[in-house]
Structure 1
Amino acid sequence: MNTPSAGTRWIQLGLGLIVMMTISSPQYVWTLFVKPFQATTGSGLPAVQVTFTLLIVLQTFFSPAQGWLIERFSAKGMIALGAALSGAGWAAASQIDSLYGLYATYGVLCGLGTGIVYVGIIGLMVRWFPERRGFAAGVVAAGYGMGAIATTFPISDMIAASGYRHALLVFGAILGVVGFIAALGLRPPQLGETPEIPADKVASAARDVPPKTMLKTPLFWLMFAMMAMMSTGGLMVVAQFAAFSKEFGVADALVFGFAALPFALTFDRVTNGLTRPFFGWVSDNVGRENTMAFAFALEACAIALLLAFRENAYAFALLSGVVFFAWGEIFSLFPSTLTDTFGTKHATTNYGFLYMAQGVGSLLGGPFAAMIHDAAGSWVPVFCIAIGLDLVTAALAWFVLKPARRAYLGVPVPAVPALAEPLAAKPLAA
């Protein structure tokens, strides 16, 4: 087995983690800037919130083009550019006074920048760690999910002390520069720098499938539909978290001496980050689909319990952490499964297409859930839909995706599959 020299790939993983952390704040601390932007632009909340929608849409729906650019040109250069754009978006937003200026800076620049970095880093890490793709993708995805923990309180304090413009300018410069410098150390692996995949590990494609061919396979669209359903179901809860906590009457109740809502949000951010490398590591050892089925069913159970005990502040806070723990792993399981199936050469662009499913989920999970609530006058139908989507996706992982991937990769399907049965990679027909 070939081995990388002197921990090179672990250095690459560390650099990827740092860059991911630098692009986390535009999404996860957006809420701190909403009211200041409303006051500056003289706009209502819905108009200002379009900025956040732009950020997510540009981050996800442009990811195939961003992935193609990364593979066509320099991964290092493009990721460095993305980090710089994200920081520049904040710095530029500190100087604007109009709503359209806000859209162009915070929405467009940060959206494009974070999208380039996200798909680029994931694409590199699944190549550096062929035998630990789930773990590696999970580590860097955790950087995006948890990176804002380090900036939330400093930014909040700076806004209170010096105003939001100063906070945007200072942190935009810091995060942009740190991300740019760290990205300059990134590179794709060379021949012999990564180990071969052991025969008893997860199945991996014997050939590299280009995006045009991948998009013609039902297997890709099955993965896309599953990720879209998981994103929608999870975001139905995530996007409306503060709203339903207030309606359930637990937002201001005390939990371990803290108000339940901020405690839950902090706890959830931690579990949402930790789940990505954890379940990625689990999937490296027991199989992607087995892990998906368990994790997705776990989220369904957690949401059901959260609904059942929705008026108990302690249950609300703690079970919300379980919900996030069982949801965030989609950002390690799906990219690793995709690369296992369609190879590494086009991994970045291929994942760009799959990542669009997160954009679908963000559009449906927020507005669609709010519409259902307004029509029914209750959050209960929203929770029930999320539970149903989780259970359907868990069943698809076990009963459909698992045999479909085996058939595509040329791996025989055993008569009685074991829970943790490894998938042996076999050559594909020419």
Structure 2
Amino acid sequence: MEAEMTTDATTFTRPRIFHGWLVVAAAFAVTFVGFGSAYTFSAFLEPLQHDFGASRGSVSLVFSIAGFLYFALGVVSGPLADRFGARPLAVTGMIVVAAGLAAASAARSLTEVYLAYGLGIGLGVGCAYVPAIGAVQRWFVKRRGFASGLAVSGIGLGTLAMPPIASLLIATFGWRGAYLVLAAVAIVLGCGISLLLENDPRDRGLGPDGDPPEPARAIKSAGTPVLEAVRSARFAGLYLSCLVCSFGAFVPFVHLVPYARDHGVATSSAVLLLGTIGIGSTAGRFLLGGLADRIGRDRSLIMVLLGMALAMAIWAISASAFALAGFAFVYGVFYGGWVAVLPAVVMDHFGGRNVSGIIGILYTSVAFGTLIGPSAAGFAYDATHSYTLPILISAAANVVAALIVAAPLLRSGTRAISAARR
């Protein structure tokens, strides 16, 4: 049924299917393919280490390079999406991902893997991710947290599905053939569905959530200029929090499988631990993204950071497959919540006019943490033959990140109490 609403002497027809959900589906496909391909790296770590005679730290650097690029590139792709639209950037990004995977299959040295996988995944995901997630934020207000969580749940499901698939492909075709199959998936699924992306509901005569469009003057003023946003204390706090958190946030995606193998877990079971992170991550994006709409997205951001710290503490004392599966699920829930809530927090504080550009600049903090964290954990293992120190540092980093986000809320609460007493 179509419902008609009247506003300002014009007749507004609410669409039967709100296109915002198709934009969410497109963002889901981008995150599923892009991050799913990236997080298969743990399944490739041992074959690459064996074939090229490399240390665990040096192989881990491949993932760190890719992670640095796909978060850092948002500083360019975000503003371009605000100006030209998310669709061309997402389609280009998926093509670059496919090209990188295909080139990695032909690598003759670890350096060539650095260039092919690191640059292909890094540049491709960096080109597509921020524009896709930024587009989703503009289509929703009341259900922004849920819609954002649904969009980035592609990361969780990609983490669930892609590493076991990659492991099976490696066993069947070798790691080179596995990379070629993943390249085909990126072209068919990633490029195809990302064509549904659209930047602005006003292009369809709609407002956020499928409501009537707002007056043009209101839309024009609905957003903080990029330079004003990045100079604000609120942005500085978010940036520092993300920087600190991300030093440890991606360590499990690279090192959980080899950690489990070191503790006697069979390879087939160890790879499934990444899928368990994916299950938890998907649940966290749905549940915590929706919860954030009700309890407040700033409070939810603090909660998920503390939850990630708790999960890391569980990892530090886990040795069996069962205990590691418990860690993987708990960590996935809170990591998924972090990824879902963060863009919505940015939209809440700075508005929609330049949201992709602001998110892109914010994610450069995650880029630096991703570049250093997983490779540093690998080199720490090479030096000590233990992951205990990097795991504990990762847990502490998340506690610090939560305190940074909480500081403005605590200050405003203190001021409110003082005002009430006066």
Identify the TM-score tier after normalising by the shorter chain. Answer: 0.7 to 0.9
Asked if 2 retains the 8 angstrom alpha-carbon contact of 1:88 and 1:173, the reply is no
Q: 1:210 aligns with which of 225, 230, 237?
A: 225
| Number of the residue aligned with 1:287 | 296
The CA distance in 1 between the partners of 2:378 and 2:107, in whole Å, is 30
The CA distance in 1 between the partners of 2:207 and 2:260, in whole Å, is 47
| Number of the residue aligned with 1:95 | 106
In proportion to residue count, which structure has more helix? 2
Asked if 2 retains the 8 angstrom alpha-carbon contact of 1:80 and 1:183, the reply is yes
AA in 1 matched with 2:289: G
| Number of the residue aligned with 1:324 | 332
The CA distance in 2 between the partners of 1:141 and 1:231, in whole Å, is 17
Q: Using the TM superposition, give the Cα deviation of residue 373 of structure 1 relative to its aligned residue in structure 2, in angstroms.
A: 6.0
Distance 1:229 1:50, change over 3 A: closer
AA in 1 matched with 2:234: L
Q: Is 1:161–2:172 an aligned residue pair?
A: yes
Asked if 2 retains the 8 angstrom alpha-carbon contact of 1:40 and 1:97, the reply is no
Asked if 2 retains the 8 angstrom alpha-carbon contact of 1:88 and 1:176, the reply is no
Distance 1:54 1:293, change over 3 A: closer
AA in 1 matched with 2:399: L
The CA distance in 2 between the partners of 1:134 and 1:118, in whole Å, is 17
Q: Is 1:269–2:284 an aligned residue pair?
A: no
Moved more, 117-126 or 171-180: 171-180
Q: Is 1:71–2:78 an aligned residue pair?
A: no
Moved more, 340-349 or 165-174: 165-174
Distance 1:88 1:263, change over 3 A: closer
| Number of the residue aligned with 2:200 | 189
Gaps of 5+ in 1: 199-204, 407-411, 417-430
Distance 1:328 1:207, change over 3 A: same
AA in 1 matched with 2:333: F
Q: Using the TM superposition, give the Cα deviation of residue 41 of structure 1 relative to its aligned residue in structure 2, in angstroms.
A: 6.1
AA in 2 matched with 1:194: G
Distance 1:87 1:312, change over 3 A: closer
Q: Using the TM superposition, give the Cα deviation of residue 335 of structure 1 relative to its aligned residue in structure 2, in angstroms.
A: 1.1
AA in 2 matched with 1:278: L
Moved more, 166-175 or 133-142: 166-175
The CA distance in 2 between the partners of 1:40 and 1:260, in whole Å, is 22
Q: 1:5 aligns with which of 15, 40, 45?
A: 15
AA in 2 matched with 1:341: H
Gaps of 5+ in 2: 6-11, 212-219
Q: What are the superposed Cα offsets for residues 29-80 of structure 1, whole Å, 9 maximum, x if unpaired?
A: 1234345556776766655544322211211112101212222323211111
| Number of the residue aligned with 2:366 | 358
Q: Is 1:30–2:41 an aligned residue pair?
A: yes
| Number of the residue aligned with 2:91 | 80
Q: 2:398 aligns with which of 387, 390, 407?
A: 390
| Number of the residue aligned with 2:256 | 241
Distance 1:138 1:207, change over 3 A: same
Paired residues, what number? 399
Distance 1:282 1:402, change over 3 A: farther
The CA distance in 1 between the partners of 2:39 and 2:232, in whole Å, is 35
Q: 2:246 aligns with which of 220, 231, 235?
A: 231
The CA distance in 2 between the partners of 1:47 and 1:306, in whole Å, is 23
After TM superposition, the score normalised by the length of structure 2 is 0.82
SS of match in other structure, 2:199? coil
Distance 1:344 1:49, change over 3 A: same
Q: Using the TM superposition, give the Cα deviation of residue 5 of structure 1 relative to its aligned residue in structure 2, in angstroms.
A: 2.1
The CA distance in 2 between the partners of 1:19 and 1:70, in whole Å, is 15
The CA distance in 1 between the partners of 2:409 and 2:373, in whole Å, is 24
Asked if 1 retains the 8 angstrom alpha-carbon contact of 2:30 and 2:129, the reply is no
Q: Is 1:177–2:188 an aligned residue pair?
A: yes
Asked if 1 retains the 8 angstrom alpha-carbon contact of 2:35 and 2:159, the reply is yes
SS of match in other structure, 1:188? coil
Q: Using the TM superposition, give the Cα deviation of residue 238 of structure 1 relative to its aligned residue in structure 2, in angstroms.
A: 4.8
AA in 2 matched with 1:285: R
Q: Using the TM superposition, give the Cα deviation of residue 177 of structure 1 relative to its aligned residue in structure 2, in angstroms.
A: 2.6
Distance 1:197 1:340, change over 3 A: farther
AA in 2 matched with 1:327: Y
Q: Using the TM superposition, give the Cα deviation of residue 348 of structure 1 relative to its aligned residue in structure 2, in angstroms.
A: 0.8
Distance 1:311 1:148, change over 3 A: closer
Q: Is 1:52–2:60 an aligned residue pair?
A: no
Q: CA RMSD in A?
A: 3.5
* Identity fraction in percent: 26
| Number of the residue aligned with 2:215 | none
Distance 1:243 1:64, change over 3 A: same
The CA distance in 2 between the partners of 1:113 and 1:322, in whole Å, is 29
Q: Is 1:278–2:271 an aligned residue pair?
A: no
After TM superposition, the score normalised by the length of structure 1 is 0.80
Distance 1:18 1:4, change over 3 A: farther
AA in 2 matched with 1:23: G
Asked if 2 retains the 8 angstrom alpha-carbon contact of 1:22 and 1:176, the reply is no
The CA distance in 2 between the partners of 1:385 and 1:48, in whole Å, is 21
Q: Using the TM superposition, give the Cα deviation of residue 271 of structure 1 relative to its aligned residue in structure 2, in angstroms.
A: 0.5
Q: What are the superposed Cα offsets for residues 102-149 of structure 1, whole Å, 9 maximum, x if unpaired?
A: 333222122111111111111001111122222222212110232253
The CA distance in 1 between the partners of 2:381 and 2:44, in whole Å, is 26
Asked if 2 retains the 8 angstrom alpha-carbon contact of 1:9 and 1:128, the reply is yes
Q: 1:133 aligns with which of 108, 124, 144?
A: 144
The CA distance in 2 between the partners of 1:378 and 1:34, in whole Å, is 17
Distance 1:110 1:234, change over 3 A: closer
Distance 1:391 1:153, change over 3 A: closer
Asked if 1 retains the 8 angstrom alpha-carbon contact of 2:304 and 2:338, the reply is no
